[in-house]
Amino acid sequence: MTAEILVQAMVLGLLQGGIYALVAAGLTLIYGVMKVVNFAHAEFLTLGMYLAFSAYTLLGVSPYLAAVFALGLVFVLGAAVQRTLIRPALRHPQINQLLITIGLSTMLIGAMQIIWGPRNYVVPLPWGRATLGLGDLRVTYTRLIAFGVAVAIAAGFWVFLKRARGGLAIRAAAQSPDAARLMGINVERVNLVTFGLGTGLAALAGALIAPVFFINPTFGIDYFLLPAFVIVVLGTMGNFVGAMVGGLVIGLAESFGGLLLGAALRQFASLAVFVLILLWLPRGVFGGRMT
């Protein structure tokens, strides 16, 4: 194994991890605030991919500009879903919310197959295959952009959560909904906005990765749901920074695992890392030791 190949594996693992992180960010946000495990999360990612695809092929709009619209559009859609499907079930047993989001996932996949068909699409950006070469290392610009924007958004969002009033309200509602309500925070509204933001982030991630991958109705659930859940649990459910770190860890574990053990055992490697970390830190990397 030459050093060149190892360096390449590391860089590619980090890039993949950044994208995982952005997908997981929305999931962990929703869980953190509402304690709802959103099994339809991956479908919002797929929807974002389709929106970017249609914006580019029908209107000639850059997928990166479309990403902003996808965020807005899916924010509204996500908020509507929260208001009509999630909110009535919030005080019910968690299994109800789980089943609702699983049902929503199936419905969204069906809807996307009706609208866009079962076919695989790619976003035919003319420079989509151009690569940046650093010595022997090669990375496509589309992947670099996806990674760069993912990290920037994650960092920006983290600052928002820490510094802005809205972020404070979200954190307060996450910590104790009842106490937050007593402090005059409109928890219902926080929930609505959080769900919209979480799903919107998934759509944004989808639009960003649309030029890197291909698109079909089950892309999100097939390719990103399991890694996203693993990352969220690894980084402590509900912890935003944890999702970032977890994403990079899983990206690297997959990359090196695939290289050393063979691609078929890639997930074995990443899940082994996951199990080992949970054995040691059952609440995830940022959950602290259990006493």
Partner 1 sequence: MESRTSKSRVGRRQFLKGVAGAGLMLAAGPALSRVSAQPKEVKVGFLLPLTGAFAEAGQLNKQAVEMAVEEINQAGGVKSLGGARLVALFGNSSTVDEANTETERLIAREKVIGIIGAYSSGATLSSTVIAERAGIPYLVPNALADEITGRGLKYVFKSVPHFSQFAINGGELVRDLSKKAGLEVKTAGLVRENNFFGNVVGREFNKHIPSFNLKIISDNVFPTNPTSFEDVILRLKQDNPDAVFAAGEPSSITLLFQQLNELRYWPRLGWVGVGGGYSNPITWKNLGKLANGLIAVNDWFPDIKRPGAQEINARFKTRTGLDMLGNANTTYAGVHIFYATLEKAGSTDGAKIRDALAGLDLTSGAPMFMYERVKFDQTGFMTYAKLVGAQVRDGQARVIWPESLKVTDAVWPVPDWGRRG
Contact residues for 219 (Cβ-Cβ < 8 A; gap 6+)? 45, 46, 49, 213
Among 81, 254, 274, 285, binds partner 1 (CB under 8 A): 254
Nearer to partner 1, 33 or 215 (CB): 215
Among 224, 229, 274, 286, binds partner 1 (CB under 8 A): 224
Q: Compute the distance between CA of residue 212 and CA of residue 124 in angstroms, rounded to an integer.
A: 10
Nearer to partner 1, 38 or 255 (CB): 255
Nearer to partner 1, 196 or 211 (CB): 211
Give, as one character, the DSSP assignment of residue 215.
B
Site string for partner 1, 14-53 (x = CB under 8 A): --x-------------------------------------
Nearer to partner 1, 111 or 155 (CB): 111
- 131 in contact with partner 1 (CB under 8 A): yes
Q: Compute the distance between CA of residue 268 and CA of residue 146 in angstroms, rounded to an integer.
A: 26
Nearer to partner 1, 92 or 119 (CB): 119
Name the one range near partner 1 by CB under 8 A: 2-10, 54-62, 71-79, 173-181: 2-10
User: Hey, what are 45's tokens?
Assistant: 């990612």
Q: How far is the CB of 227 from partner 1 (least distance, A)?
A: 7
Q: Compute the distance between CA of residue 184 and CA of residue 18 in angstroms, rounded to an integer.
A: 36
Exposure string over 71-105, b if 16+ CB within 10 A, otherwise e: bebbbebbbebbeebbeebbeeeeeebeebbeebb
Kindly list the distances between the CA atom of residue 57 and the CA atoms of 86, 123, 258, in Å, as whole numbers in the listed order. 34, 8, 34
β 137-140/131-134 pair status: antiparallel
Kindly list the distances between the CA atom of residue 185 and the CA atoms of 126, 197, 200, 229, in Å, as whole numbers in the listed order. 48, 18, 22, 29
Q: How far is the CB of 161 from partner 1 (least distance, A)?
A: 28
Among 88, 124, 156, 288, binds partner 1 (CB under 8 A): 124
Binding residues for partner 1, rule: CB under 8 A, are 1-2, 5, 8-9, 12, 16, 113, 117-122, 124, 129, 131, 138-140, 143, 212-214, 216-219, 222-224, 227, 254-255, 257-259, 262-264, 266-267
